[in-house]
Chain A
Amino acid sequence: MRVRLRYTVTGKIRFLGHRDVARVWERALRRAGLPVAYSEGFSPRPKLHFGLALSVGHESLAEYVDVDFAGPVDVAVLPLALSAHLPVGIEAVGAIAVQRSEGSLQSVVDACTWQLRCTGVSADALAQQAAELMSASALEATVTRKGKAVTWDLRPIIVSLDVSPDTGGALLDVELATSPRGIRIPELVAAFAPLEFEARVTRIHQWTTVEGSRTEPVPMPPQISHALERAS
Chain B
Amino acid sequence: MSSIWSSLEPLLERVQRPARYIGMEDGAVVPEQGGDAVSWLLVYPDSYEIGLPNQGLQILTEILNERPDATAERAYAPWVDLEAELRAAGLPLFSVGSHRPAGEFDVLAFNLSAELTFTNVLNCIDLAGVPVRAAERGLAHPLVGAGGHCTTNPEPLAEFLDFVVLGDGEEAVGDITEVIACWKAAQADRRELLVELATIDGVYIPALYEPLYSADGDLIETVPVAVEAPDVVEKRTVADLAEWPYPRRQLVPITEVVHDRLNVEVFRGCTRGCRFCQAGMITRPVRERPAEQVRTMIADGLARTGYDEVALTSLSTADFSGIGPVVEGIMDDPASAGQVSVSLPSLRVDAFTVGLAGSIGQGRRTGLTFAPEAGTWRMRQIINKLIREEDLYEAVEAAYSSGWRRMKLYFLTGLPSETDEDTLGIATLARNCVELGRAHHKNPSVTVSVGGFVPKANTPFQWFGQNTVTELQRKVYMLRDELRRDRGVQLKWHDPKTTLIEGVLSRGDRRLGAVVEAVWRAGGTFQEWSEYFQLDRWERAIADAGLTPEYFANRHRDTDEALPWDHLSAGLHKDFLAQDWADALAEVGLPDCRWTPCYDCGACTGYGIEHVVASAVPPAGGSQGTGQQVTSDLGAVPVRLGPTSGGAPDGSAELHDVAPPAVAPALVGVAATAPEQDPRT
Contacts and interface: CB of A to CB of B under 8 A. Distances in A.
B19 A26 contact: no
B365 A12 contact: no
Given A17-B17, A20-B256, A43-B364, A31 B24 contact: no
A15 B256 contact: no
A16 B254 contact: yes
A12 to B, nearest CB: 5
B566 to A, nearest CB: 48
Interface in A12-31: 12-13, 15-17, 19-20, 23-24, 26-31
Interface of A: 12-13, 15-17, 19-20, 23-24, 26-31, 38, 42-44, 56-57, 85, 87-89, 198
Nearest to A41: B364
Given A57-B13, A88-B24, A27 B307 contact: yes
Given A16-B254, A17-B255, A87-B26, A31 B306 contact: yes
Given A31-B305, A85-B306, A87-B254, A16 B19 contact: yes
Contacts of B364: 42-44
The winner among B13, B252, B254, B308 for most chain A CB atoms within 10 A is B254
A31 B255 contact: no
Interface of B: 10, 12-13, 17-19, 21-22, 24, 26, 252, 254-256, 303-308, 339, 364-365
Contacts of B19: 15-17, 20, 56
Contacts of B306: 26-31, 85
Contacts of B252: 27
B256 A42 contact: no
B24 A23 contact: no
Nearest to A17: B19
A111 B342 CA distance: 44
B18 A13 contact: no
Contacts of A28: 306
Contacts of A27: 252, 305-307
Contacts of A30: 306, 308, 339
A89 B22 CA distance: 12
A143 to B, nearest CB: 19
A115 B359 CA distance: 53
Contacts of B13: 57
A181 B13 CA distance: 25
Nearest to B18: A15
A28 B24 CA distance: 15
Contacts of A19: 256
Given A28-B306, A30-B308, A31-B304, A42 B365 contact: yes
Contact of B12 (A15, A17, A29, A42): A15
B39 to A, nearest CB: 22
Contacts of A24: 254
A12 B256 contact: no
B556 to A, nearest CB: 49
Given A12-B22, A17-B255, 18 more contacts: A15-B12, A15-B21, A17-B17, A19-B256, A20-B254, A20-B256, A27-B306, A28-B306, A29-B306, A30-B306, A30-B308, A31-B306, A42-B365, A44-B339, A44-B364, A87-B24, A89-B24, A198-B10
Nearest to A89: B24
Nearest to A38: B339
B338 to A, nearest CB: 9
Contacts of A12: 22, 24
B336 to A, nearest CB: 10
7 contacts: A13-B24, A13-B254, A15-B19, A16-B255, A20-B19, A28-B306, A38-B339
Pairs A-B, 10 closest by C-beta atoms? A27-B306, A31-B306, A15-B18, A30-B306, A12-B22, A16-B19, A20-B255, A15-B19, A43-B364, A57-B13
A176 to B, nearest CB: 20
A89 B364 CA distance: 31
The winner among B21, B306, B364 for most chain A CB atoms within 10 A is B306
Given A27-B305, A28-B306, A87-B26, A56 B254 contact: no
A22 to B, nearest CB: 10
Contact of A15 (B22, B303, B304, B365): B22
Contacts of B308: 26, 30
The winner among A15, A29, A43 for most chain B CB atoms within 10 A is A15
A209 to B, nearest CB: 34
Contacts of A87: 24, 26, 254
Nearest to B335: A33
Contacts of B255: 16-17, 20
Contacts of B21: 15
A19 B331 CA distance: 28
A57 B254 CA distance: 15
A9 to B, nearest CB: 12
A28 B305 CA distance: 9
A12 B255 CA distance: 13
Nearest to A88: B24
A127 to B, nearest CB: 25
The winner among B17, B21, B22 for most chain A CB atoms within 10 A is B22
A54 to B, nearest CB: 13
A2 B67 CA distance: 47
Contacts of A89: 24
A17 B13 CA distance: 12
B250 to A, nearest CB: 13
B163 to A, nearest CB: 34
B22 A13 contact: yes
Contacts of B254: 13, 16, 20, 24, 87
A146 B24 CA distance: 32
Nearest to A24: B254
A198 B256 CA distance: 29
A129 to B, nearest CB: 22
Nearest to A21: B254
Nearest to A27: B306
Contacts of B10: 198
The winner among B10, B18, B305 for most chain A CB atoms within 10 A is B18
Contacts of B17: 17
A71 to B, nearest CB: 11
A161 B252 CA distance: 41
A24 B10 CA distance: 24
A88 B28 CA distance: 13
Nearest to A56: B18
Nearest to A15: B18
The winner among B19, B21, B303, B307 for most chain A CB atoms within 10 A is B19
A205 B304 CA distance: 33
B357 to A, nearest CB: 16
A215 B12 CA distance: 34
B656 to A, nearest CB: 52
Contacts of A57: 12-13, 18
